[in-house]
Amino acid sequence: MMKRQLHRMRQLAHTGSSGRTPETAEFLGEDLLQVEQRLEPAKRAAHNVHKRLQACLQGQSGADMDKRVKKLPLMALSTTMAESFKELDPDSSMGKALEMTCAIQNQLARILAEFEMTLERDVLQPLSRLSEEELPAILKHKKSLQKLVSDWNTLKSRLSQAAKNSGSNQGLGGASGSHTHTTTANKVEMLKEEEEELKKKVEQCKDEYLADLYHFSTKEDSYANYFIHLLEIQADYHRKSLTSLDTALAELRDNHSQADHSPLTTAAPFSRVYGVSLRTHLQDLGRDIALPIEACVLLLLSEGMQEEGLFRLAAGASVLKRLKQTMASDPHSLEEFCSDPHAVAGALKSYLRELPEPLMTSDLYDDWMRAASLKEPGARLEALHDVCSRLPQENFNNLRYLMKFLALLAEEQDVNKMTPSNIAIVLGPNLLWPPEKEGDQAQLDAASVSSIQVVGVVEALIQNADTLFPGDINFNVSGIFPGLAPQEKVSSQQVSEELPPVTVPAPATTPAPTPAPASMAVRERTEADLPKPTSPKVSRNPTETAASAEDMTPCPASEPAFTSLPCHLKYACSGGPGSSYRGQRRP
């Protein structure tokens, strides 16, 4: 008994880390041993993938098409849309769009249901058979073989021991010895018969197991195809979905564009103003100066030249969005935004920032940087003049127009606190930025240094606007705002050929206060509560009064870049009295 236990312990020790027992190893060649080692991992992989893939299904597993579609979230969405568009005007653009979107969600749900049914048939079911039937059957044969071999080895040990005992008893004399010898011999014969029978079972089970291993090795490629076929089914599903979406979108856009006959939206679509190249914008609208640049400059010349922190203080997001939409759909209605110069300045910055290529061009970026690196003022100015001359004509015209305006804005720096340096800090990154490159931290650091150089370039352009861009300029070049007569300060230089001058009348005296129009009267704080610039300008009859004693009370500044904020802006920054100044501006 002890010997049998020791023999079994040696077998377990020999099994060890190899993952196989000597009972099967002695029947297998090296190639089949490798196949045997892949059985258990293959079973686990098939089982785990089947389980996770089953969890990805959105429909009811095993159901037919109609039942499966009803359970899909996309079909629930389609049903909700169908119920919703019934309440809308069927001739309205929203109603038509919702109805078509409802139909495409229904179609997408059926494509998804078809995909899941194919997935179940061609991938999930084969993986289930592999992990639950085919591989477990092979592993069962392996265990049976191991047990038979173990029993056979045990029986052979017993037979060997019985044969030894029979030989020992044969040497003993007497009747007692003869009887013992006969009994032992009979036992040996019985063990031999059992051993022969068990040997036949081992051979039969071994043949079955070897056949299983050969079958598995030849089928491994087909098992791998389950996963390849999964990707093929997914690709086909996504192609069908994308084709349906593309077809529906094209039809939907076509119907929507035909239904939209508004002359305001067709005259200057939003997509042709913001986010398109300067050349495309100018060609589509037949302009020399970009619409947002001219419109915003004229509005600011009319109302914003002495506004403190212009381009620095942010406007409300909703006001800015509405202004940009009006810019695209009905630019003749922009005068209503005169009362919010910060929103106008924000719309101008947004246009420059959303250009696909900077106004000062990516091609000349390195040239601008080289010019900025020159220390000697004369050489630097000459280099800037050279780079300006190499700008495309449309970029040059718009940059000249903008710099002339910014030079005028800087002349009011005692009031608006916007020096050329301050203007360059807030506008420079919107006029010129480095070409997009993938790089390491060193390149990012270089880009940070270049942004400082960009500020230096823009500041120099503003300070030398009359030298780099000689000639007077007509800001109302397209006549888009005949109602606005901005108080322009024009250069005494000769007129450029691109933009002919307009004689600017001398500033009139400040008009007498008159009641504000009804459209401007509804504000959280009236214009009468605010200080007005002392320099004359043409506006929409705003009420001009002196600042109240409360507004003139000293208070701590909240903007470190502007240390001389007037009190009404300081209170607005801190949430005190005047926090609703001019449409709730945000610092």
pLDDT in tens, 182-220: 777 787 788 888 888 888 888 888 788 888 887 787 788
Domain(s) labelled CATH 1.10.555.10 in the chain stretch across 278-435+445-468
The letter for the amino acid at 394 is E
Give me the DSSP letters along 118-141: HHIIIIIHHHHHIIIIIHHHHHHH
**Which carries the bigger pLDDT value, residue 426 or residue 440?**
426
| Helix, strand, coil percentages, rounded to 5, for the chain | 70, 0, 30
Judged against a pLDDT cut of 70, whether residue 488 lies above it is answered with no
How would residue 39 be classed by pLDDT, with cut points 50, 70 and 90? confident
139, 145 Cβ separation under 8 angstroms = no
Domain(s) labelled CATH 1.20.1270.60 in the chain stretch across 29-166+187-260
Instruction: Give 56-114 pLDDT, tens digit per residue.
Output: 999 888 888 888 888 899 999 999 988 887 888 877 888 888 888 999 999 999 999 99
Question: With a threshold of 0.75, does the pTM exceed it?
Answer: no
Helical axes 341-354 vs 317-329, angle rounded to 10°: 70
Instruction: Give 249-303 pLDDT, tens digit per residue.
Output: 888 887 766 655 444 334 444 447 888 899 999 988 889 999 999 999 998 998 8
Calpha distance 557→537 (Å, rounded):
28
How would residue 483 be classed by pLDDT, with cut points 50, 70 and 90? low
CATH code: domain 278-435+445-468 is 1.10.555.10
Judged against a pLDDT cut of 70, whether residue 486 lies above it is answered with no
pLDDT at 407: 94
How many other C-beta atoms are found inside a 10 Å radius of the C-beta of residue 85? Answer: 20
Average pLDDT over residues 498-505: 38
How would residue 376 be classed by pLDDT, with cut points 50, 70 and 90? very high
Tokens at 280, concatenated: 């495309």
CA 51, chain centre distance (Å): 31
pLDDT at 543: 33
In sequence order, the 6+-apart residues with CB closer than 8 A to the CB of 557 are 563, 564, 565, 570, 573
CA angle 152, 5, 24 (to 5 degrees): 40
Judged against a pLDDT cut of 50, whether residue 6 lies above it is answered with no
pLDDT at 581: 30
pLDDT at 25: 62
pLDDT at 24: 61
Calpha distance 53→116 (Å, rounded):
10
Instruction: Give 118-146 pLDDT, tens digit per residue.
Output: 999 999 999 898 888 888 888 888 888 88
Question: Half-sphere exposure (CA, 13 Å, Cβ side) for 206?
Answer: 17
* % of the chain exceeding 90 in pLDDT: 29
Instruction: Give 308-340 pLDDT, tens digit per residue.
Output: 989 988 888 888 888 888 888 878 778 778 888
Judged against a pLDDT cut of 90, whether residue 418 lies above it is answered with yes
How would residue 27 be classed by pLDDT, with cut points 50, 70 and 90? low
Judged against a pLDDT cut of 80, whether residue 175 lies above it is answered with no
Lowest mean pLDDT among 234-248, 254-268, 288-302, 351-365: 254-268
Judged against a pLDDT cut of 90, whether residue 393 lies above it is answered with yes
Judged against a pLDDT cut of 70, whether residue 33 lies above it is answered with yes
The letter for the amino acid at 364 is L
**266, 237, 258, 345: which is closest to 298 by C-alpha?**
345
Judged against a pLDDT cut of 60, whether residue 399 lies above it is answered with yes
- Return mean pLDDT, the chain: 73
In sequence order, the 6+-apart residues with CB closer than 8 A to the CB of 132 are 47
For 45-52, the CB contacts below 8 A with 24+ separation are: 46/127, 46/128, 46/130, 46/131, 46/135, 46/223, 47/131, 47/132, 49/127, 49/227, 50/124, 50/127, 50/128, 50/131
Q: Which residue do the tokens 């040239």 mark?
A: 367
540, 484 Cβ separation under 8 angstroms = no
Longest CA–CA span in the chain (Å) reads 154
Judged against a pLDDT cut of 90, whether residue 525 lies above it is answered with no
* % of the chain exceeding 70 in pLDDT: 69
Phi, psi (deg, nearest 5) at residue 314: -85, 150
Judged against a pLDDT cut of 80, whether residue 415 lies above it is answered with yes
Average pLDDT over residues 405-434: 93
pLDDT at 334: 81
Calpha distance 277→288 (Å, rounded):
14
How many other C-beta atoms are found inside a 10 Å radius of the C-beta of residue 375? Answer: 6
Please give the CATH topology (third level) of the domain spanning 29-166+187-260.
Substrate Binding Domain Of Dnak; Chain:A; Domain 2 (1.20.1270)
| Eight-class DSSP state of 529 | G
The letter for the amino acid at 239 is R
416, 301 Cβ separation under 8 angstroms = no
